[in-house]
Amino acid sequence: MTQYVIGDIQGCLAELEALLAELGFNYGTDTIWFTGDLVNRGPQSLATLRLVRQHDNCMQTVLGNHDLHLLALNYGYGKLKRGDTISDILSAPDKDILLGWLEQQPLLLQQDDFVMVHAGIWPQWTTKQAQTLAHEVESVLQKTPQLFFKQMYGNKPIYWNDTLQGEERLRFITNVFTRMRALTTTGELDFAYKSTLSEMPSNLLPWFKASNRQNKDKTILFGHWSALGLYRDDHVICLDTGALWGGSLTALNLENMATTQTASQTKLNLENL
C-alpha cells in the first residue's frame, strides 16, 4: 500500500490518468490525497469529479477555492467567470450526487506527521487549532450551506483575531485554507499577488515564511500556488506545478518522499481568463 499526494488537477483529466499510469496506481491497495481544486479552468472538470467520487474508497480531497466556487454557484451565489469550465457539472444528470459528495469533503486532512490543506495555514495557528477551525467551517457548510455560501465571497477581514464571529470569522478561515498565498510584512492577507517567490515585492512574504510560525511540528502539504511550483522547504511542500498552464501534474509518495510528474497536455493563457 502506497499513499500519494497529488497537486491541483482543475479538470486536467488526461494528465491525471497519465500520472496514475506512471505510478502504477493500484485501486485496491494504494491511496491518494488531492490538494483540492479538482475542477475548473481545465477541459474535463465533470469527468474528473466523477472519477474521484467513484473511487472515494481510495481517493480523498480537501476543498479548494474552485471547488467552493462550484458549490456556491449551485446554491445561486457567485457568478460564472469567463474562464470557468464547470457549466456541464451544473447541468449534469448526476449533479446532485456529485455535488452532494463534494460538499461533504473537508478543508484539512491529517495523517501522522503530515497535514494537507488547499492553500495554507495561518502562521499563528497551531496545527491542532487549524484542525478545530476547519471543522468549525465544515460544520456550517454541511449543515446550512445556503447560509455559508451567501457570506463566503469577499476579501475581508484580512487579519485574524480570536474574537472574530459570524460571517467574518467563517470567511477569514475559509480564505486562509483555500486562497492564501502572500502576507504583508505587517501580517495581513494579500490576495493580489500570485507570481513567483523571486518576483515578490519587499512588502510581502509567503505565508510559510512568516515569523513566529506556530505550525512547524507537521509538514504542511498544499497546492493553489502554481507559480510557486514544487517547493520543499520551511516544513511545507507545495505540489501545484501548473498542469493547467503547461507545466506538469505532480505526485508525492509519502513513504519515500519521491515525486513523479507527468507533462501537461493543457496550456491556458492567463491573460484570456
Q: Walk across the sheet containing 182-184 and list its strands.
A: 189-190, 182-184, 204-206
Give the helix/strand (H/E) hosting 116: strand 114-116
| Residue 225 burial class via C-beta count within 10 angstroms: exposed 0-12, middle 13-18, buried 19 and up | buried
pLDDT at 267: 65
The three grid cell numbers given for residue 195, joined into one nine-digit string: 507570481
Interior angle at CA 25, CA 23 and CA 30, nearest 5: 125
Average pLDDT over residues 60-79: 98
Residue 11 pLDDT > 80, yes or no?
Answer: yes
pLDDT at 190: 98
| Confidence grade of residue 270 (pLDDT, cut at 50, 70, 90) | very low
Which of these CATH numbers, 3.40.50.300, 3.90.700.10, 3.40.640.10, 3.60.21.10, describes 3-272? 3.60.21.10
Residue 268 pLDDT > 70, yes or no?
Answer: no
Beta-sheet strands, E only, within 135-218 = 182-184, 189-190, 204-206
Chain segment 245-255, per-residue pLDDT in tens: 999 999 999 99
Mean pLDDT rounded to a whole number for the chain: 96
pLDDT at 20: 98
Helix locations, 42-126, DSSP H: 45-54, 65-74, 87-90, 95-103
Rounded Cα distance, 174 and 180, in Å: 9
Rounded Cα distance, 147 and 249, in Å: 35
Domain boundaries, the chain: 3-272
pLDDT at 126: 98
Rounded Cα distance, 222 and 37, in Å: 11
| Residue 71 burial class via C-beta count within 10 angstroms: exposed 0-12, middle 13-18, buried 19 and up | buried
Residue 64 pLDDT > 90, yes or no?
Answer: yes
Q: Are 72 and 78 in contact (CB under 8 A)?
A: yes
Rounded Cα distance, 153 and 14, in Å: 31
pLDDT at 273: 42
| Residue 175 burial class via C-beta count within 10 angstroms: exposed 0-12, middle 13-18, buried 19 and up | buried
Average pLDDT over residues 58-72: 98
**Radius of gyration from C-alpha coordinates of the chain:** 17
Rounded Cα distance, 105 and 86, in Å: 18
User: Helix axis angle, 13-23 relative to 45-54, nearest 10°?
Assistant: 40
Q: Are 219 and 236 in contact (CB under 8 A)?
A: yes
Rounded Cα distance, 113 and 241, in Å: 23
pTM (two decimals): 0.96
